[in-house]
Amino acid sequence: MQRKLLKGFALSLLALFCAAGEPSPLVAQTPAPSPVSAAAPPALVTTFAPVVEKVAPSVVTVFTTQTVSRPLMPLPFPDDVLRQFFGEAPPHQGKRTLQGLGSGVIVSPDGYILTANHVVSGAEEIMVGLGKELRKYKAQKVGADPGTDVALLKIDAKNLPAITFADSDKARAGDIVLAIGNPFGLRQTVTMGIISAVGRGGMGIVDYENFIQTDAAINMGNSGGALVDTQGRLVGINTAIFTRSGGNQGIGFAIPSNLAREVMQSLREKGRVIRGYIGAAVQTLTPELAEAMKLKGQPSGALVGEVERNSPAERSGIKSGDVITAVNGKKVTDARELRLMIGSMAPGTKAQIEVNREGQTKIFNVELAEMPAGASGQGGEAPGEEESAQPEKKTVFGGVVITDITEDIRTALKLPKDIQGAVITDIDTDSPAAKAGLREGDVIQEVNKQPVQNAKDLVEISRNLKPNEKILLRVYSQGRSGFVALEPE
């Protein structure tokens, strides 16, 4: 229930901020004209105190309580000695109470409060502290959306100072922002910075990433707090930092206020977020993949790696290998953007999806279904009683050892029954395949769109590849199929 931390490189930014001022008018004197003076420099903004005084009452402290198990202190005797003299002892487990601390933002006068889901996830009790005097109220969790890290709380209070929302779609890199929250329990701490970037994604924090990046100092306890503009309007909900040290290093992330408001409205009305769904696993089309697929002039889009059976995508005619380039006329630049577009539409909506299929543009009308509550894993069949013989292993692509998929392998890797191909059993870490991301347990299903049924197929296909030409592989890995561009040996 503490602030999410991302381990990685840090970058500190420094900016000077100023606002345009009005120069004093020049008055001509007679009979001799006065010398012309240069325009006065812009006036320097020396305080944001009025903004802070307006917004701070809308930012609250969120306290959480959670009971977890922990090992008890080890006893000074081995377990077998204890059993000999005292019989079976209870497991060495105890209970302890964790106290969590975060921030929240009042969004309505009647007690609705936005915060980050990870602040309240798993909490048995939630308390909200208002104002500098920290008046405490017991909070009810109305709903939460792990996909965006947004949660909505409700307290029994009236006439609260609700924050005003900004249009976060208009936020730009370079805009001045203030972060207000409770880092390390220091209530209503204010820090200043700029928006460093918008539309950040692909970091693996949540499923639907469209973060605003800021260099305003954000630390433990700021999660769920407000990121506001210079007019005191809510631009985002602070949610994560990028750090090596565990503290602020100038890279923080906030959920855009427009996205937070959409989720809030859905949670308030329905208790959950209902998203559109087409049933296609996608990945961002990289220049390497585009070259391997011979898609000239196709620099961006969402590449379909797998289409679920009887899904809206399959029923409409979308296939693996298609590149989704637009939805309802709006350009799709990557997989993240496609997920946001589809997820924001209601089930039953008919979406016009444009794809590039082997250089040809095709349009499909897809009626969206509802996003399933959770992904369902599918395991293989139980192994038979007879032990199967070890299949022969072969080497392809300069260091990739492959073999056929036996029932034992299918069961061990939990491969669905319909997955066919050659499974990787070993790989040279210095090979082009390893550098492209292939690893043991992956199943190679296609090579340059030629299907692979077994290891023999893969060996035969690999022998007929053109030299010095990128190789396009379709690979089943970690429960889904996708594409990998492989450099020639």
- Which residue, 341, 342, 396, is CA-closest to 368? 342
Active site includes 118?
A: yes
Partners of 277 in the β-ladder: 369
Active site includes 223?
A: yes
Cβ neighbours of residue 11 under 8 Å, at least 6 residues apart? Answer: 249, 250, 251
**Distance from C-alpha of 256 to C-alpha of 254, rounded to nearest angstrom:** 6
Q: Look at the alpha carbons of 342, 348, 354, 356 in this order and tell me if their dihedral is positive or negative.
A: positive
Q: Are strands 276-277 and 164-165 parallel, antiparallel or unpaired?
A: unpaired
**Distance from C-alpha of 463 to C-alpha of 400, rounded to nearest angstrom:** 14
**Distance from C-alpha of 445 to C-alpha of 453, rounded to nearest angstrom:** 7
**Distance from C-alpha of 210 to C-alpha of 273, rounded to nearest angstrom:** 17
**Distance from C-alpha of 378 to C-alpha of 208, rounded to nearest angstrom:** 24
Asked, as a colleague might, if the bond just before 31 is cis with ω within 30 of 0, I would say yes
- Which residue, 260, 273, 336, is CA-closest to 303? 336
DSSP assignments along 435-458, one per residue: HTT--TT-EEEEETTEE--SHHHH
One of 103, 168, 196, 223 is an active-site residue; which one?
Answer: 223
**Distance from C-alpha of 49 to C-alpha of 339, rounded to nearest angstrom:** 40
Whether residue 221 contacts residue 191, with contact meaning beta carbons closer than 8 Å, is answered with: no
Active site includes 92?
A: no
One of 58, 103, 145, 149 is an active-site residue; which one?
Answer: 149
Burial (CB < 10 A; 0-12, 13-18, 19+), residue 411, is: middle
One of 58, 103, 118, 404 is an active-site residue; which one?
Answer: 118
- Which residue, 284, 279, 396, is CA-closest to 333? 284
* Secondary structure (3-state) at 58: helix
Q: How many helices (H) and strands (E) are present in the chain, helices listed first? A: 10, 29
Q: Are strands 443-447 and 422-427 parallel, antiparallel or unpaired?
A: antiparallel
**Distance from C-alpha of 462 to C-alpha of 289, rounded to nearest angstrom:** 18
Question: What are the catalytic residues?
Answer: 118, 149, 223
